[in-house]
Every structure is written in C-alpha cells, then in structure tokens.
Structure 1
Amino acid sequence: MKYQIITPESDEQLERYFQFRWEVLNKPLHLPLGSERDAYDAYSQHRMVLNEQGEIVAIGRLFISDSEEALIRHIAVSSDYRKQGFGLMVMRSLEQAALSEGVRRIVLTARDQKSLDFFTQAGYLPDGEPYYYKTTFFQQQMVKHLDEPCHFTRSAALCHKLYQEIYERIPLSEKIGFKLTRYDNELLETRLSLGGNANAYESMFAGSSYCQALLTAWSLLWLALEELNMDAEITLVDAQIQYRRPIQGECSAQTQRSQVVNMSNSFNAGHSRTRFKIAVELYSSDHLVAEFEGLFLLRRLQCRRPEKVDQS
C-alpha cells in the first residue's frame, strides 16, 4: 500500500486534520470538540499522512518560535497504524521544514512513557528533570539539535574559519541567521531563513535580504584572499539591488567564484589596491527574487609567507 505525506491546505483537508487530532489526542481525555485547536495553529506548519484511500494515518504540527528554535506538537497516529513508522515519517517531514527555515533546535514535550520512548527513538534527548502538570500529568521536555548539511568541497577549513571571522567583524550576520552552505569551484551559496526576518506582511525585510547579499559577496572576497594567503582590507564602495518579487520563504544567495579567479593578477606590478565588482543572485522557492551588485575596494595590508592551502 502506498502512502503520501501532504500539507493540509483546503478547508476540507484542515477540517479532517483537526477532527483526527481531536479523536486521537483529546477525545480519550474527555476533552470537548474544539479543545484540539489553539491560537498557534494559524502560524504553524502542518503535515498529515494519507493512505491509498485518502484516509488520515498520522498528523503533526511545527511552530517556529524564533529564528533558531521550533516546537513540535500534536503528533498523532491512528491506532490501526501504530508502530509502523508513520509517526517518524511525520517527524522527519516537520524537521526538514524546520531545517529549511534555519531552525537549529526543536523542543517538544513527552507526556507519558510511550511518547518518551518514541521521541527518544526519533533522536530527542531529555532537557531537565521531568515534572507533573497540575500534579497529575507527567511531562518531560525534550530537545534535538539539527545539523544542517554544508557542502564545502573547496577550502573546507577556511569556510569554518569564515564563520568566526564574519560573526566577530559583523555581529549582525549572526543575529539574522546568516549561514554559508556551499563553496566549491563554481559558486558560493548562503542561506537566510524567513523566521526572525519577516515583516508584517509575512515576507522578508528588504534590509535582511540586502545584508545577506552583501555578506555573501564579502565572504567570496574574503575566501579568495585567504586562499591566496593575502591580508587585505575589504571596503564596500557602492552597491545596488533590484527586487523582483517578495521573499516569502528561505532565501538562497549565490555568487559565482569565476569573479575572483584572477585576483592575484589584480595585485601585480606592485599595486596595493584593486577593485572588484561582485554580482549575487537571490532565490526563494527556485525563483529569482533579487539581483545584487557591489563594488568593493581591496587594499592590501601586508604579505604573508606562502602556505599550502587545503582546498579539500
């Protein structure tokens, strides 16, 4: 039998979703219909697993509380389908959604030994001591740290060094959740989640995406200088950005490494200064959402003794 996991969106799907939540989680506790909903549902991501007949097998909810943390709640599996991996299927889908938004850790609560065992199987660890809600219901907060896969096939050690460098020089980069996710012989890519950068219209602040583009260009220049074993001051001279559409999800900024391959030649003939134009394209949901171009002045500070650069 085939199963599919979907995001309930239509009124009919959402009505079935909440009815299932009440029947599995709330009805056994003698809670009234309607108690299964709360104010966070409208701002959360929902998943449900359907069988071939379109019947609901399992559901779950993800609420992103800030730029780094999310909460998973209301994991429910039909009694006929338990211990078959459908709960874990929902968990993995919600975790992937959280990861795509830049979330670094997920928090949830186990309310009995069975759920404690289930969440432990899913990779969650107890966070603090268990307690009893209103002296009756067992509760154990649990947490899981998400490790976003990064693809550094060139200068991996320098990519990790860049994090420390950029966070120290530009503290705003850490506050907005700026992340380097790819660096190879073709391009450098960074990502910025919507969580923590959203305006009142549920799209990304223009200032946040501008900062991402600028930091992406700066990172490319910094890595190129480090690979050449050069110390240089990087100064933005001029920049412009053209927005094509609102950014309503995670934003990927990409810049081509071909723009800096001739950097060593730019410092020839004893010149201590050179200028570079760096173009950056911003994407969201595979759509080009903005184009950035920055003009940078590089002023060489000193010469280092040549070293072998690890580009693995």
Structure 2
Amino acid sequence: RQEAVEFYRKCGFLEVGGGPVSFGRIPHRQMIKSLSPLQTIQYRPEWCQDLTTRWSRGVPISEKMGMHISHYDGQTFHLKANLAANLNVHGSMFAGSVYSQCVLAGWGLIWLQLKEEGLVGEPVLAESTIKYHGPVDEEPEARVAREGMPAVLQPLKRGEPATFSLKIQLFSGSKLAAEFCGHYVVQPPRRPGQ
C-alpha cells in the first residue's frame, strides 16, 4: 500500500513502479528487495560491492531494474535483473532492459578486470549488436567471460586507449534468450593539463 512505502524503504526495498488500486481507492506501489546478497560472492566481494555502489550513483537505472551481481570468479561475470521490474505489456522483459543488462554486464567485467590488473581507465561502449532469440519470461541473467583480457588492456599502461569486443549471453532461466556483441573502448585517465 502507498502508505507503507516509507516503512519498506527503511527495510531495504526499492520502489520500482506503480501497482494496482484495490477497491478503486487503495493505491499500491511495486517494491523489490534483492534476496541474492553480494556476500554469496566468494572472490573479490568488496570489488563487487564497489561496482554496485558505482552503478547506483552513476547509473541509477541499474537499481530500478533490480540489477545485482550473481557471480564473479576472476574469469566470468554474471549479472541478474529483477524480471518483475522490467516487464512489458506481453509479460516478458522489455527489449531495452535486455540490452541495458548486457551493456552493464560487459562494462562490469571490464571494470573488475581493470582492478585485477591494477589499471585505471573508463570503459565506454562504442558499438554493439544484439540478437534476440526469444522472450525473457524467467529470471534474466547476463553472462560474460574475459576472453582476451588482460592482454587487450595493456595499451593503457602506455597511456593509449584499449579497444576490444565482448560477447555477452543473456539467459531466461536456463534458455538462451539473447546474444550481444559490444565493442568497448577503455580510455586512459586524463593527465593534468590535458
């Protein structure tokens, strides 16, 4: 119910949209709370928490979509979203939400790999393609592996941009629902006076 929203906010729930109006006069709001805590990540959980915080500050839609890191082992990265927060009128995930989840999965893996290598840079998506295989009507999870890294990041050590492509798969439950190929550029940090 609308009057209980503040209570649920204090309990860690995020408001993600409107809800039904019961009996024609009692408004409701849709709220979510992730039940997959980052504490389940065994490898670099503090980095995963830093990444989540960075997204919540710089990419606020990530919270609205219920994005949460479900796996990172130094080689692969998995990012889940809350299906209920991303439904279209057909009861499946918005195509734009599928795309956004894939973009953030690639960006997240790059950010973590930069930390693994002790490098600093700003990942940017330069170009992409996506192929949709079917509707996403179960929990969506984007999966990406670090193919070619860390070698492709080495130009950053010379102050040059690193450019490369990542393939990201998005699953609806256990079914492959979309394949995304993103061409990313990692710009080296600007030097003072540039």
* Structure 1 residue 231 displacement after superposition: 1.9
C-alpha RMSD over aligned residues = 2.3
Q: Look up the match of 2:178.
A: 290
* Structure 1 residue 276 displacement after superposition: 1.7
Runs (4+) off by over 6 Å: none
Give the conservation status (yes or no) of the 8 Å contact 2:141–2:172. Answer: yes
Q: Percent identity?
A: 27
Unaligned runs of 5+ in 1: 1-39, 41-64, 69-102, 105-145, 304-312
Number of residue-to-residue matches in the alignment: 165
Determine if the alignment matches structure 1 residue 250 to structure 2 residue 136: no
Q: Which has the higher contact order (CA 8 A, sep 6+)?
A: 2
For the structure 1 residues 250 and 150, does the alpha-carbon distance in structure 2 shift closer, same or farther, using more than 3 Å as the test? farther
Give the conservation status (yes or no) of the 8 Å contact 2:93–2:137. Answer: yes
Q: Look up the match of 2:94.
A: 205
Aligned with 1:222 (options 84, 95, 111): 111
Q: Look up the match of 1:77.
A: none
Aligned with 1:167 (options 45, 48, 56): 56
- TM-score, L = length of structure 2: 0.76
Unaligned runs of 5+ in 2: 1-21, 23-28
SS of corresponding position for 1:252: strand
Give the conservation status (yes or no) of the 8 Å contact 1:150–1:180. Answer: no
Deviations 1:232-263 (A, max 9, x none): 12221101110000111210110012342324
Distance 1:154 1:245 in 2: 32
Name which one, 1 or 2, has greater alpha-carbon Rg: 1
Determine if the alignment matches structure 1 residue 279 to structure 2 residue 191: no
- TM-score, L = length of structure 1: 0.49
Deviations 1:155-212 (A, max 9, x none): 2211111111111111111111111110003310010121111011100000111100
Residues 1-312 of structure 1: pairs in structure 2 closer than 5 A: 66-68=30-32, 103-104=33-34, 146=35, 148=37, 151-267=40-156, 270-301=158-189
